[in-house]
Chains A and B, each alone.
Chain A
Amino acid sequence: MSAVIEIEGLRKTFNSVRHGRQVAVDGFDLTVGPGEVHGFLGPNGSGKTTTLRALLGLVRADGGRMSVLGAPSPTRLAQVAGRVGAIVESPQFFGNFTGYRTLRLLALAGGVPVSRVDEALEQVGLHDRGDERVKGYSLGMKQRLAVASALLKNPELLILDEPANGLDPAGIREMRDLTRSLADAGVTVLISSHILAEIQLICDHVTIISRGRRVASGRVDEVLAGFDRHEFLVRVAEPERAAELLRAGGLPVDVYSDHLVVGQVDDPTRISRLLGEQGLWVRELTSLRPDLESVFLELTGDGAHPEVPRQVDGSGPHHRVMEMDAGVGEVRGDNA
């Protein structure tokens, strides 16, 4: 089945008198398949919003190829705009318009039945506040209104840029449930966010961008698996002796004050067997699987080599880079 979003080699440079030439996106690739809930991660200034704006025709790309629902963007974007709901960063609305009127005007402009306004407000939990002026809304309510505006069209593709901005924990949970229910209904969702735990909970696929380039992409579990060093945390009565025994057994061990971290463990029973045979009983044996945050920080947060341009596809000298071919579902790259 063809991709819902395809971006190949997107490049965008901003020129300004004050800041000079700034490369925002540098040969970025992104593929989102139908029905995916795709997380789009990156640190501030990494090019997430520029990418989304370019995809939606708000920013002119300097190079590359993009398509949305099979239509080249931005040239044919208008043909599919009615099937795409999007919010980009935190949209601003006129303060003296009510939430209902704001959506009604958008519905009118987009040729959507006005009856959808109530439904969209209901979907984001704003139905009871729809007749209040937007200037009285909290940040979270404005964010919900923005999501409601994206939902008005009953979109096949939903693009949400930082949808959890300003939401309290309950609001974040509601947004998560809403996203999930939309995905269950067959809507493809692309979510840009820096709340990594949320992305891990919501998304089945993820793409990570850093300094304008893709540094990882694929199914969430496969991306995480690519960074799994098969490490286990071990608590034991005599850690120094236990470390010696494990090293003798061929396992790399790091010793900490109250625990050990043992790497390259394919079978955890091997640890308990090696130690048990020498009368050392394991008090705790915990798998240290990577989460999205640790992967994200490893890929984007080191900042240790600012002079070395980050490369994709494993060509960078210092960075662990991986990507997945979405069509095949196979991890192609690993540590460089």
Chain B
Amino acid sequence: MNLVRAELERLGARRFVQLMLVLLVLAFGVTASTTLAGSHQPTAAELTDARTQAAESRRQMDEVYQRCVAQVNGNLPPGSEQEDFPADCSEFDPVLQDRLPVATDFLPGVFVFSQQAEPLLYFLIAFLALFGFLVGASYVGADLNSGGVVNLLLWRPRRMTVLGTKLGTLMGAVLGLSLLASLVYLATFWVIGQSAGLPGQLDGAFWAGLGAVHARGLVLVLLTSVLGFALATLGRHTSAALGTVAAYAVVWELGARLVMEIVDTAHPDRFMLSSHVGAWLSGRLEFWDASACASASGFCERVYALTWQPALAVLLGLTALLAVAAFSVFRRRDLI
């Protein structure tokens, strides 16, 4: 327990961690203040107008669907023009849409919490994932490079305990900070929605959806923290983790993707970590499938999807592999 306390204090006292926290607060402040400055509570007239526009939009959607069905069934009224509808009208069916236009869609300059919460949360998750990776890498990288780990091992000559405590402390601290930051972040924007905009439709489905994104985001933040930690442990330096990520991005995400496109590899996105990160966060991610429909007749969807289950397996597998490698190497490494 004392070791955890010492590590927690050491982590909190690090300049880099403090700098990242300042940046987090700064980014949060800028986002919140610009949102606040750019939003106002709608007047009764604006609300009435928005409701009218939403109703009109829904009516138009229904009209389009009815025309499509009529054309497909050959029931077009005499004199009506043929339109370029597909054979299947379901994509126009208002009932099958993810969501229908609502009044808040037609309120420019009004911050609507229910509509903006998810993209705002994605921004926070991205920042926290970056924070976790950098802090994870620098926390152990600087310690290995400066001899701090050697100092610690002279006091606690149990390598696995020391490294495990460091990783556990890092994960606990990052998780605690992420929970606190997201709570404060969402609460602030909820207050902005209440006082200088609109809260929107905050029903159970909204909170369940937001909670799922949040939970997946926290898992991603923890995974990136462990990745940074493991890479820096393997390379004995913070820059090893940064270099690995930069090299991966350039060589694989850019270079290999280009090569795969040139040689017409099927579904190249499934080989990219970025695709799996996106699929994990959103639950399902669709990609353009250039090879599809080549021999198909009739309706053909030129997309393929990555879902969260295999994405999680890939991300967890990679992180676990690197973490195990880091611990194994550290266990046997000569600390000179």
The chain A residues found within 8 Å of chain B, CB to CB, are 14, 50, 53, 56-60, 74, 77-78, 81, 84, 86-88, 91-94, 96-97, 101, 105-106, 108-111, 149-150, 153
Q: List 16 A-B contacts (CB under 8 A).
A: A53-B336, A56-B153, A58-B335, A59-B335, A60-B332, A78-B158, A81-B157, A92-B146, A93-B146, A93-B148, A96-B15, A108-B5, A108-B9, A109-B6, A109-B152, A150-B154
- Check A91–B9 contact: CB distance below 8 A: no
Residues of B within 8 A of A59 (CB): 334-336
Interface residues in B12-55 (C-beta closer than 8 Å to A): 13-15
Taking a contact as CB atoms closer than 8 A, the residue among B15, B148, B158 that contacts A92 in the complex is B148
- Check A94–B148 contact: CB distance below 8 A: yes
- Check B334–A109 contact: CB distance below 8 A: no
Interface centre among A57, A58, A87, A88 (most CB of B within 10 A): A58
Residues of A within 8 A of B155 (CB): 81, 106, 109-110, 153
Residues of B within 8 A of A94 (CB): 13-14, 142, 146, 148
- Check B153–A105 contact: CB distance below 8 A: no
What interface size band does chain B fall in?
20 to 34
Complex Cα distance, B326 from A152, in Å, reads 31
Residues of B within 8 A of A60 (CB): 332, 334
Q: Is B328 close to A, CB under 8 A? A: no
- Check A78–B9 contact: CB distance below 8 A: no
- Check A149–B157 contact: CB distance below 8 A: no
Complex Cα distance, B10 from A108, in Å, reads 11
Which A-chain residue is minimally distant from B335 (CB atoms)? A58
Complex Cα distance, B152 from A153, in Å, reads 13
- Check B153–A57 contact: CB distance below 8 A: yes
User: Total contacts A to B, CB within 8 angstroms?
Assistant: 79
Residues of B within 8 A of A101 (CB): 13
Q: Is B297 close to A, CB under 8 A? A: no
- Check A56–B157 contact: CB distance below 8 A: yes
- Check A109–B3 contact: CB distance below 8 A: yes
The smallest beta-carbon distance between B157 and chain A, in angstroms, is: 4
Complex Cα distance, B154 from A102, in Å, reads 14
Q: Is B82 close to A, CB under 8 A? A: no
- Check A78–B156 contact: CB distance below 8 A: yes
Q: Is the interface of B mostly helix, strand, loop or mixed?
A: helix
The smallest beta-carbon distance between B12 and chain A, in angstroms, is: 11
Taking a contact as CB atoms closer than 8 A, the residue among A81, A91, A93, A105 that contacts B156 in the complex is A81
- Check A149–B151 contact: CB distance below 8 A: yes
Q: Is B272 close to A, CB under 8 A? A: no
Sorted nearest first, the 3 A-B pairs with minimum C-beta distance are A108-B6, A110-B155, A109-B6
Residues of A within 8 A of B3 (CB): 108-109
Interface centre among A77, A78, A105 (most CB of B within 10 A): A105
- Check B157–A108 contact: CB distance below 8 A: no
- Further pairs besides A59-B334, A78-B157: 9, Cβ < 8 Å: A50-B336, A53-B335, A57-B157, A59-B335, A78-B156, A81-B155, A94-B14, A97-B13, A105-B6
Which B-chain residue is minimally distant from A89 (CB atoms)? B147
- Check B156–A110 contact: CB distance below 8 A: yes
The smallest beta-carbon distance between A129 and chain B, in angstroms, is: 19
Which B-chain residue is minimally distant from A54 (CB atoms)? B334
Complex Cα distance, B125 from A207, in Å, reads 59
The smallest beta-carbon distance between A117 and chain B, in angstroms, is: 13
Residues of B within 8 A of A111 (CB): 2
- Check A88–B9 contact: CB distance below 8 A: no
- Check A77–B157 contact: CB distance below 8 A: yes
Q: Is B150 close to A, CB under 8 A? A: yes
Which A-chain residue is minimally distant from B332 (CB atoms)? A60
Interface centre among A59, A74, A96, A110 (most CB of B within 10 A): A110
Interface centre among B7, B9, B157 (most CB of A within 10 A): B157
Complex Cα distance, B150 from A172, in Å, reads 25
Residues of B within 8 A of A86 (CB): 154
Interface residues in B319-336 (C-beta closer than 8 Å to A): 332, 334-336
Complex Cα distance, B2 from A111, in Å, reads 6
> B129-146 CB contact bits vs A (8 Å, 1 = yes)?
000000000000010001
- Check B9–A105 contact: CB distance below 8 A: yes
Residues of B within 8 A of A105 (CB): 6, 9-10
- Check A92–B156 contact: CB distance below 8 A: no
Complex Cα distance, B154 from A108, in Å, reads 14
Residues of A within 8 A of B152 (CB): 106, 109
Which A-chain residue is minimally distant from B155 (CB atoms)? A110
The smallest beta-carbon distance between A25 and chain B, in angstroms, is: 12
Residues of A within 8 A of B6 (CB): 105-106, 108-109
- Check A106–B150 contact: CB distance below 8 A: no
- Check A14–B147 contact: CB distance below 8 A: no
Complex Cα distance, B2 from A84, in Å, reads 19
Residues of B within 8 A of A109 (CB): 2-3, 6-7, 152, 155-156
Assuming A81-B156, A97-B13, A110-B155, is B334 touching A88 (CB within 8 A)? no
Complex Cα distance, B151 from A63, in Å, reads 25
Residues of A within 8 A of B2 (CB): 108-111
